[in-house]
Chains A and B, each alone.
Chain A
Amino acid sequence: EVQLVESGGDLVQPGGSLRLSCAASGFTFSNYWMTWVRQAPGKGLEWVANIKQDGSDKYYVDSVRGRFTISRDNAKNSLYLQMNSLRAEDTAVYYCARDPGGYDLWGQGTLVSVSS
């Protein structure tokens, strides 16, 4: 089955760190750009970061640049998001998505809550 499955979401204190994972299956993961998109409770979608097929190019939304790092392991068919110096405003459901020119495959999301 073609799918993406996120994991790693949790409740974390402000200033803390968290690593999200996205496991891909059913397609050739290494052929695709991949993206993280988040959605704060009751709010709209926000693009967070994306990464090229071989990991050589990475882009971030301004609000996370320098705090978050996107990476991938094509041998493990996995996408990651390392989140450091977390803030309350980072609270959201985080989705990974496949990007062949449009985000055509999404995971179910993983919830990150930043609160003391």
Chain B
Amino acid sequence: SSELTQDPSVSVALGQTVRITCQGDSLRTSFASWFQQRPGQAPRLVIYGKNNRPSGIPDRIYGSRSGDTASLTIIGARAEDEGDYYCNSRDSSGNHLKVIFGGGTKLTVL
């Protein structure tokens, strides 16, 4: 199906490691991109492609994929990592190419 499924919320203790997952059939053939959105702000790209980071994104944040599941891992979580995280990917399974987003995961750093 043309959906990406994310857990609605995840929490992590300050300094610990957290993984946010995104599951969907399209991920078997397309890499996920990951976006962080803080309240009142536009989304910001954090991971794209196999495991590429835009400039300014630290290497303690990385992406991976296994089968139909993409993961975003944050090592040594900081308060600045809080926010909503969205995955997306291309889906060419139908007659029209389209892009789908996951429902988002709210990350809380305790």
Listed in ascending order, the chain A residues whose CB lies under 8 Å from chain B are 35, 37, 44-47, 50, 59-62, 65, 95, 101-104, 106-109
Contacts and interface: CB of A to CB of B under 8 A. Distances in A.
Given A102-B33, A104-B48, A44 B101 contact: yes
9 contacts: A37-B101, A44-B102, A45-B104, A47-B88, A95-B42, A102-B54, A103-B43, A106-B43, A108-B42
B77 to A, nearest CB: 22
Interface residues of B, number: 24
B35 A103 contact: yes
Interface in B8-43: 33, 35, 37, 42-43
B109 interface: no
Given A102-B49, A104-B45, A45 B96 contact: no
A24 to B, nearest CB: 15
A107 B100 CA distance: 19
